[in-house]
Structure 1
Amino acid sequence: MIGATYNTFNEPIKVSTDLPIPHPSSDGVVVKIMATGVCRSDWHGWRGHDDDVKQFLQANGTPFIPGHEASGVVVEVGLDVRNFRVGDRVAIPFILSCGKCRECGDKRRRPTVCEDQHQPGFTMHGTMAEFCAITRADRNLKRLPPDVSFVEAGALGCRFTTAYRAVLQQGKLCEDGNSSEKTVAVFGCGGLGLSCIMIAKAFDAQKIIAVDVSEHTLQLSLKLGATDVICAKRLDSKLLQKDENVQQTILDLTDGIGADLTIDAGGFEQTCIDAVWACRRGGRMVQVGLPAKQAALPMARVAGREIEIVGSHGFSSVADDTGVSALDHILELVETGRLQPRKLVEREVSLAEGIEVLMNMNTSSPRGIVMITDFGGSRQSSNTNKFDNCV
């Protein structure tokens, strides 16, 4: 089969054409991949920032296939699988929880932090290939409604569901029923940050503040639901400098109070620090972006203002301690038109083009989601950008 592979960190990712087609485990299936997204988490894995990828390469010594947000069609079923059959259209969650550890158990029900989770593209070969073997299928796979396309489902596979958990389950935007009176500030408006904005908009946040370094991205943020935008850098004598007034600007936009919910979706030291500073007294800051290094947080402010800082790790298709499966609810939102993930798909590309996007993600990150839909390499790079007419 054809797939994207690398053997060591930071080496050029290549298109391999002679990879073996995987076989299903007894509890798993093989999925023909119809759409898979290019995510910054894949870049982190390729750069050597992820311990699971390190362990996989050390243990297996084989070319590694990245990719973790995808949809496709079941083409082979393991002996013990009961809920799926060949031909089923499915969404693939990137956390395949075990259902047996204490975190998955009835008392905790937090499958997103399963002690023995499998993750395509991290603990196992990923979805940037024609086929992918998915373990624990009965527990984790989700059958797609007929009206949800593969591209939409692929967009849901990581960023939208991760955003759902960050904004609603960990951020608790709707916990007291007053989301229409709340302010949300999102720092870093790549695919994940923009998804957070769309989720906050879908659940009626009163004010949504987008913070990013790209004016083009901020314009898109406004189209997708942001009420206010802040550009975190300015052009001064042809040198890009950090705007030191980000924190104060958010206070000005919130009558000096700060945001009820701040989300660091960028994963940079400064976005993390700014998200804490922008939080109101008794507010909540969610860390969902993956930092490459430690941030020196203003912990005296955290203590003095009783700010809650919580982490948010992906999502699970299995209902968690809230009793809600993020994927089930999001599929319902897409079916009813309340959430439109297609608006966030910047373009569809070939596997070779997707590899280029991945390797350059730290210097030229796409404004939205880049979706690989062609593994034969026939698609040309002249794809039009859909954002200009997204609304």
Structure 2
Amino acid sequence: MKAAVLREYDAPLAIEDVPEPTPPEHGVVVDVEACGVCRSDWHAWKGHGEWADDAVERGQVLGHEPAGTISAVGERVTEWAVGDRVAVPFSLGDGTCEHCVTGHGNRCSDGYALGFEPSVPGAFAERVAVPHADYNLAALPDALSARDAAALGCRYATAFNGLVERASVGPGDRVAVHGCGGVGLSAVQIAAARGATVVAVDVREEPLALAADLGAAELVDASEDGGPASADAAVREVTDGGAHVSVDALGRAETCRNSARSLRRGGTHVQIGLTTDAEAGEVALPTDAMTRDELDWVGARGLSPTAYPALLRFVAGAAVDPGALVTREVSLDAVPARLAAMDDYGTAGVEVVTEF
């Protein structure tokens, strides 16, 4: 089958034939109908993560935001059958560790990061194998297309985890989102649907316009006036003293610090964006101010598979449209170029592979 393979860092992914997957006894094979192209794929392609012993190995099939239809089932699988439509979380658990059994499978001690490690080749491919299917898979509602489900993938699910599961954003909160890429726009839509007043921060007009369409009440163009260094002051001004919750959805040192400085006393910073090689996993923070103002700091990575039903109920009940984040459908052959476009932030919204 055809797949996009990481052969060399920062060189075009190789579109080549790879062996067909077979289901493990506790897993399934999914015919991939759609898969998002995520900035986390870009990080892997660039070779980032060596500072945390987390760089993706060469030879990896990338892609971690799939949705599709089950085409083969392992002998120990009891909950799924051929023909079932499913979404596949990228943070896969084994279903047995202390984190899995308490509803935090994205922290699984023996878990798998789909598309980021050799044991779980990714979904920039015609088919993908998913281990521990009874624990990990989520059924797609009839009303949700594979394309729109792929938009939920990593970015929307992580934003839901950060804002809903971790920070409990609700009506009356003022929420700042620093960086309006795919995960930032997801955060904008989710926070607005939860009844929060959202401030979107970016340096580009197109993402800010998308943020407004998705529910942002205030826009801060961080390229203006004092530039990115003054974005925190702009947020404090439009939120009458600071945000209750602020999200760094980019992972740059300046957006991380701006997010913390945007908060009012007692506020919560949510770290979603992963750093680049410029930060190498570490960012200096305004520690004294965080202590003085009793700020909370939480991280969010993916979403536990057991929380996917809550995410899907939220999408249906809040009448939000994750498909509104999709700005481009592409073919598998186009993935190398679309990753390269992220070098200079040459993408907007969420791009999804729908042609394999």
User: TM-score of the superposition, structure 2-length normalised?
Assistant: 0.94
Partner of 1:120: 114
Residue 337 of structure 1, CA deviation: 6.0
Partner of 1:84: 80
Partner of 1:387: none
Partner of 2:301: 313
Residue 159 of structure 1, CA deviation: 1.5
2:270 match: secondary structure: strand
Spell out the pairing of 1:82-231 with structure 2 (5 A cutoff). Answer: 82-106=78-102, 109-123=103-117, 124-173=120-169, 179-205=170-196, 207-231=197-221
Residue 99 of structure 1, CA deviation: 2.2
Spell out the pairing of 1:1-391 with structure 2 (5 A cutoff). Answer: 1-16=1-16, 18-50=17-49, 54=55, 56-57=57-58, 63-106=59-102, 109-123=103-117, 124-173=120-169, 179-205=170-196, 207-234=197-224, 242-255=227-240, 257-292=241-276, 293=279, 294-318=282-306, 325=307, 327-336=308-317, 338-375=319-356
Cα separation, 1, equivalents of 2:41 and 2:253: 19
Cα separation, 1, equivalents of 2:347 and 2:56: 29
Cα separation, 2, equivalents of 1:259 and 1:54: 34
Residue 56 of structure 1, CA deviation: 4.5
In 2 relative to 1, CA 334–247 (structure 1 residues): closer, same or farther, beyond 3 Å?
Answer: closer
User: TM-score of the superposition, structure 1-length normalised?
Assistant: 0.85
Deviations 1:344-383 (A, max 9, x none): 10011111222211122121342111000001xxxxxxxx
Cα separation, 2, equivalents of 1:47 and 1:304: 38
Mark the structure with the bigger radius of gyration: 1
Residue 162 of structure 1, CA deviation: 1.0
Instruction: Look up the equivalent residue of 2:343 and give its one-letter code.
Output: N
Q: Percent identity?
A: 38
Cα separation, 2, equivalents of 1:88 and 1:210: 38
Cα separation, 2, equivalents of 1:128 and 1:42: 10
Question: Which runs of 4 or more aligned residues in structure 1 lie more than 6 Å from their structure 2 counterparts after TM superposition?
Answer: none
- 109-118 or 328-337, which moves further after superposition? 328-337
Cα separation, 1, equivalents of 2:106 and 2:61: 22
Residue 331 of structure 1, CA deviation: 1.8
- C-alpha contact 1:288 1:311 (8 A) present in aligned 2: yes
In 2 relative to 1, CA 304–35 (structure 1 residues): closer, same or farther, beyond 3 Å?
Answer: same
Cα separation, 2, equivalents of 1:365 and 1:91: 27
- C-alpha contact 2:106 2:305 (8 A) present in aligned 1: no
Deviations 1:281-309 (A, max 9, x none): 11100101111222111101111111011
- C-alpha contact 1:77 1:85 (8 A) present in aligned 2: yes
CA RMSD of aligned residues (A): 1.7
Cα separation, 2, equivalents of 1:54 and 1:214: 29
Deviations 1:252-300 (A, max 9, x none): 1122x21000000111111000000011111100101111222111101
Instruction: Look up the equivalent residue of 1:342 and give its one-letter code.
Output: G
- C-alpha contact 1:147 1:335 (8 A) present in aligned 2: no
Residue 310 of structure 1, CA deviation: 0.9
Instruction: Look up the equivalent residue of 2:350 and give its one-letter code.
Output: I
Aligned residues: 348
